[in-house]
Chain A
Amino acid sequence: KAGVTQTPRYLIKTRGQQVTLSCSPISGHRSVSWYQQTPGQGLQFLFEYFSETQRNKGNFPGRFSGRQFSNSRSEMNVSTLELGDSALYLCASSFGASANTGELFFGEGSRLTVL
């Protein structure tokens, strides 16, 4: 069973640019969550999508957005990049049904460097 796949793995952008990251969840998983990981802030929750709808959202500015497609694949977009957006962006999938006690399955992440 293939795991969670994130692309690209590494990317370098300059301030003011925008970036789109992609995540393919495990087959059959309907929930996709995104996290930002930085050395100083740890794991910060960005948002969660379930069946193409945003179900939960963290405390990030509107420059951070996401969406989920009918095949459960998800993308997140960051516009007008700032130096502080440099981080490892992790995607995680789960089956996602209500009352689910299951775990999150993480991808290896997309490491974004903003110059």
Chain B
Amino acid sequence: GDSVTQMEGPVTLSEEAFLTINCTYTATGYPSLFWYVQYPGEGLQLLLKATKADDKGSNKGFEATYRKETTSFHLEKGSVQVSDSAVYFCALRGSIYNFNKFYFGSGTKLNVKP
């Protein structure tokens, strides 16, 4: 069945460091891929998305490219800030053959130190 695997955390970085959070997926058909972010005490917010292969989603300096050949959707940011400290979830929305179900990774906690 469809699934998402993302790197375990926590990830601790200094401010202005480069960030990569790995995400790989297994899916039938052509899923849509998402990154969500959860700040302390809040619900999940959509960070970026990509709906087809080779699409690049971007928002707030974060980027991720939908790579069908490697079934990956890694999250990157060139220079993190303390305010980026949060939990990041990779997710996929399955195809119509799988009732468009959502699958979430386990989440990666990011701590950014000043």
Contacts and interface: CB of A to CB of B under 8 A. Distances in A.
Interface in A66-97: 90, 92, 96
A98 B44 contact: no
A48 B101 CA distance: 9
Interface residues of A, number: 24
B43 A103 contact: no
B51 A101 contact: yes
Contact of A101 (B32, B36, B89, B101): B32
B45 A106 contact: yes
Interface residues of B, number: 21
Given A42-B106, A101-B32, A101-B93, A107 B100 contact: no
B82 interface: no
Interface of B: 32, 34, 36, 42-46, 49, 51, 89, 93, 96, 99-102, 104-107
A99 interface: yes
A99 B96 contact: yes
The 3 A-B pairs at the shortest CB distance, nearest first, are namely: A106-B43, A101-B32, A106-B44
Interface in A26-63: 33, 35, 42-43, 45, 48, 55-56
Given A42-B106, A43-B107, A99 B43 contact: no
Identify the interface centre among A45, A98, A104, A109: most chain B CB within 10 Å of its CB.
A104
Contacts of A107: 43
Given A42-B107, A103-B49, A56 B43 contact: no
Contacts of A98: 96, 100
A88 to B, nearest CB: 8
A48 B36 CA distance: 19
